[in-house]
Amino acid sequence: MDPYIIGLLGIAGMLAMIFLQVPIGVAMGISGVLTFSVIRGSLPAALTLFGTETVSKVSSSELSIIPLFLLMGAFATVGGLSGDLYRIANSLMGHVRGGLAMATIGGCAGFGAVCGSSIATATTMARVAIPEMLDRNYSERLATGSVAAGGTLGMLIPPSIIFVLYAVLAEQFVKTLFVAALVPAILAVALHILAITIVVRRNPAEGPAGARSQWRDTLSAFREGWAALLLMVCVTGGIYGGIFSVNESAAVGAFMAFLIALLRGRLDMRRFWVALRDTASTTSMIYLMVIGASIFTYAVTVSGLPEMMVEGIRDTGLPGIWIVLLLMVMYLILGAIFDTISSMVITMPFVFPLILEYGYDPIWWGVIMVMVIEIGMITPPIGMNVFVIKAMMPNTKIGTIYSGVTPFIIADIIRLGIIIALPAVSLFLVDYFHLPR
């Protein structure tokens, strides 16, 4: 049988298993082994992939960052750092129209820098911010929409777990990706705040202005939140200042978050073991997915299917920008259906060679891909973050949340257009600091 056909059957089998609720990592691993065994005609040789790829990924120093960042996020949540960051942002912006929603975006950005997960950011900030906004007569639409949209910043603002995974799968440098994401992340926060400004200007009742915080209240918010700010500065400043490597920064951040939660008296044995259990569970899921993706990628590459696809698309004569736009649509759909990691690992064997063939920078593409998947997390008809908010606000109609995220989707599409049209926006810091890529 033609290897191309075997590769296509392997993909079909993987998708069928996913449809039957088989975990994505397991489905990719099984499909990869079976595909390789049929192509090579040897099942024992194919089974060795389970051993070689598992050892390769488990021993990867870059993947070791993931459990440390996850543990940092777990301890930060226990320590109440999300509330601290929200109160600081609220003391600075709560007195303007839509100020609490703007503070929510700022809080999400800050917590995303110590958490690195979109869903965790949305879940945590929903508990803190939505009740505050509703108590101050904010509309449900703006309250829920700002939290759902702000939660997506968790995957874009470094340090981000999905950037670490992309670096491993695409063989790129993690620090280079973190630096490339800085300006797009700042732009994302600015455009989200601009979207809120436009919403409340058109209808002031959506987000009425609160009382201006006294300087004593602002000072108190900073005094109570100094630990959260210190953690952010140490983790991000240590990476960008060259004080720590990314691995060392993750370890320092996890230890600092542990100390903060412990010294605040919020970390008892039960919460400690829950944090470890949740970290271990999520880490296992990610490693399983990466190992399965690695096996699947190897098998599909052996089949020659990616090369055939690249040649077929190149023969159409379509310019590169059209290919990028088509991929954008694909990732929007995938982001609305799958979680971020799944969307990336399933498509990497086919999309990454295509991007390289058309001469696009893999660092720039990594930022673009994360941004698009991020938009998909709040895009109808599914949108993972929207369903997270709905689960936490059962009395709120799903249509209300979708209506609330619409201005932010528009802002995100504008940001995406800027980064596509002007790649230097995400790459000039990389070039300025002469980072490897």
Question: What does 163-220 look like in DSSP terms, one character per residue?
Answer: HHHHHHHHT--HHHHHHHHHHHHHHHHHHHHHHHHHHHHH-GGGS---PPPPHHHHHH
% of the chain with per-residue pLDDT over 70: 97
Residue type present at position 330:
M
φ/ψ (deg, to 5) at 436: -70, 145
Cα–Cα distance list, 10 to 16, 71, 155, 338, 354 (Å): 10, 36, 30, 20, 20
DSSP 79: T
φ/ψ (deg, to 5) at 435: -80, 150
User: What is the tens place of the pLDDT at every residue in 112-133?
Assistant: 777 767 777 888 788 888 888 8
DSSP 286-320: HHHHHHHHHHHHHHHHHHTHHHHHHHHHHHTT--H
- Residue 277: what pLDDT? 92
- Residue 337: what pLDDT? 64
% helix / strand / coil in the chain, to the nearest 5? Answer: 80, 0, 20
- Residue 328: what pLDDT? 86
- Residue 143: what pLDDT? 93
- Residue 335: what pLDDT? 67
Would you say the pTM of this structure is higher than 0.85? no
Tracing tokens 């797009």 back to the chain, one arrives at: 184
Question: In angstroms, how far is CA 378 from the centroid of its own chain?
Answer: 12
- Residue 346: what pLDDT? 81
Name residues of the chain where pLDDT drops below 50. Answer: none
Tokens standing for 250?
Answer: 């993750």
Collapsing DSSP to helix, strand or coil, 349 comes out as helix
User: What is the tens place of the pLDDT at every residue in 179-196?
Assistant: 999 999 999 999 999 999
- Residue 339: what pLDDT? 65
- Residue 160: what pLDDT? 82
